[in-house]
Structure 1
Amino acid sequence: MPFVVSTEANLSDHVRRQRVYDGTVFCLSPRASIRAMADFALDMVSRAFDGRDPMTAHRDLAVEEYVGILAALKPAFTHHLRSKELLREILLDLGADITKTYFDVPKLRVVPTASYLSSGLGYNYSAHRDTWYAAPDCQNNWWVPVAGNAAVKGMQFHPDFWGRPVENSSSDFDAYEWNRTSRRDAARYVTHDPRPHPKAGTGMEGSAVRVVGESGSILSFSGAQLHSTVPNETDSARISFDFRTLHIDDLMARVGPENVDSRSTGTSVRDYLRADTFDPLPEDVIAMNDADGSANGVLVFDPAVLEVN
């Protein structure tokens, strides 16, 4: 199947989701709701670096100091009430039914030069599917460039393996063990990253395609798409944010791309919040999707355990 990129912005949310499940990647032009959240993110980043230009701060800071800034900044953005409110406005703007759409809290990415930091809080993702991280088959991924040249330091897709299995390490990933240790410990890793990130086998990622939009644009794609980080080999940072959504009807009906190769355990669906009320999914719906996760793990990650220097 050819790799399909669409810029159609007026589709219903239902039609767009079905197209995403068929492998289409949507690249939507900037709109006011997305710019509002991008501006909020950039303001938080700028404040965190306290007068330094966040695009070049890594040139002057010791990497440990830089990581310390990110260790406070990233969860502050992710769990800020305003982030959730702005994300809800984006979903409304895109035509989602916010009584049935659930989102995972947004993640802020500040990616400096790869030779400076590519582990832990600056992790450069190898080719992977989000389903390998115990995500549901119907997960929709959304990615927004905020600042920096996304063409040379953003993300890329590996379309040769859409709907086709690829050798991978997802059997080593358990969502509840990840919650217990790996999410908590990210800031500890500066020069290496031993966490069990699922990834495609060496040399197994196939071709790479970059879909680039300007600041404030948004990419929408399936969590089953094989994708990776483009290592930042420039001398300035890249800032972006991303989030994930699911429609409860799709989750209950098990709609989405076929799981061709994920062997991860547990489930990430407990992380999702209803877009209008910020309530979690009902327990009976969660139980339908729980996949034999570790009995010793943590079902829901508590950001209070993060170590902030």
Structure 2
Amino acid sequence: MSVILANSRIDDDLRRQMIFHGDVFLYSATPASTALIGFARELIEEAFEGRDPQTAQHEMPVEEFAALLADLKPRFIHHPTSKKLIVTLMGELGMALDKTYFDVPRLRTSTADHYLDSGISYAYHAHRDCWYSAPFCQVNWWIPVYEVVPENVFALHPQYFDRPVRNGSGRYDYAEWTAVGRPTAAQHIHRDTRDQPKPEQPLDLETDLRLVPEPGGMLLFSGAHLHSTVANTSGRTRFSIDFRTVHIDDVTSRAAAPNVDATCRGTTLRDFRRADDLTRIPEELAAQYEAEALAKLT
């Protein structure tokens, strides 16, 4: 059973342990998260040139919208201000910046009424991040940029946290994805043909958990949770920010959520940088994870 904790004051070590058992943490906006979404809004509104970004999909050809996102999203992802604000935010939530590593903050969109569900604005089917080679000690962060409603957020499916789901992760190799799959995202406008790990059995996805934070509010949950993009029927494009963190002590000790069904190859650990100085995860640790994942498949 997953428990939802709102504005919990417990320390980060205990919080991570609880996340690895399936619990979910919800936090109100902080000064740093408010600054982060404010910066995102500046870039978004500049890109849309006077249009309301949340309703612009009703005024623009989908190809033009996709091209705009293909320029906007990397600008946010790679901007040094985005990373700086993420580090400040982690400090506000009591995380040890000399031991916490994070990947790049991504700007996500979910358009309404299946306007653009592919490629650059992919509507994620039910999945665990760990089917995509994420470490099982990964904590996922999700932050809405504008106001969201139950009809345009994402859903958790906590009943599957410790239940295996037959899936296609055995065909997924992270190195191949970064070389071939990810760079072609903007080319998939009307249909996404990239092979991504999906459930390969019927699931009860109607029984879901939808949390609706305020703009700048935060959800923290395990990358091992099954979750999916809600079919957006709100009439408005949802903009959100997500990123992921790992604590080096968990990486070395293998403290983590259970692996009930992932059989992918590779690891995303090389994408993570330490909060205090942006150094990468030590290569020997990433190589160990890669070797362990491969050994389990042979």
Instruction: Name the residue aligned to 1:45.
Output: 44
Deviates more, 1:104-113 or 1:91-100: 104-113
Q: What is the 5 A alignment of 1:1-309?
A: 2-206=1-205, 207-291=207-291
Q: What letter matches 2:249 in structure 1?
A: D
Amino acid at match of 1:258: P
Aligned to 1:299: none
Q: Is contact 2:148–2:215 with CA below 8 Å preserved after alignment? A: no
* Mapped partners of 1:102, 1:241: distance in 2: 17
Shift of 1:293: 8.7
Note the C-alpha offset of 1:117: 0.6
- Partners of 2:139 and 2:214 in 1: CA distance: 21
**How large is the RMSD of aligned CA atoms in angstroms?**
1.5
SS in structure 2 of the partner of residue 239 of structure 1: strand
Give the deviation of 1:199 after TM superposition: 1.7
Shift in Å at residue 208 of structure 1? Answer: 1.0
Deviation, structure 1 residue 23: 0.7
What is the identity, as a one-letter code, of the residue corresponding to 1:231?
A: A
Q: Alpha-carbon deviation of 1:245?
A: 0.2
The alpha carbon displacement at 1:236 in A equals: 1.3
Distance 1:272 1:139 in 2: 10
Deviations 1:27-77 (A, max 9, x none): 111111111101111111111111111011111111111000000111110
Question: What whole-Å deviation, never above 9, does each CA across 1:150-191 have from its counterpart, x for those lacking one?
Answer: 311011111111111111111121100100111100000011
User: What is the Cα deviation at residue 292 of structure 1?
Assistant: 7.9
Aligned partners of 1:288 and 1:247: how far apart in 2? 16
Letter in 2 for 1:33: A
Contact map agreement 2:148 2:213 (CA 8 A) in 1 = no
Q: Which 4+ stretches in 1 moved above 3 angstroms?
A: 291-294
Distance 1:81 1:202 in 2: 42
2-structure distance, mates of 1:115, 1:132: 25
Q: Give the Cα separation in 1 of the matches to 2:47 and 2:292.
A: 40
TM (normalized to structure 1)?
Answer: 0.92
- Structure holding more helix per residue: 2
1:118-161, Cα deviation, whole Å (9 max, x unpaired): 01111110110000000001000000011142311011111111
Partner of 1:305: none
Once the two structures are TM-superposed, the CA of residue 202 in structure 1 deviates from its matched residue by 4.8
CA distance in 1, matches of 2:204, 2:225: 11
Q: Which position in structure 2 is the counterpart of 1:300?
A: none
CA–CA distance in 1 between the matches of 2:224 and 2:46? 35
CA contact (8 A) 2:101 2:275 kept: yes
CA distance in 2, matches of 1:161, 1:236: 30
The 1-side partners of 2:49 and 2:255 are apart by 46
TM-score with structure 2 setting the length: 0.95
CA contact (8 A) 2:149 2:234 kept: no
Q: Aligned with 2:114: secondary structure?
A: coil
8 Å CA contact 1:38, 1:146 repeated in 2: yes
Give the length in aligned residue pairs. 293
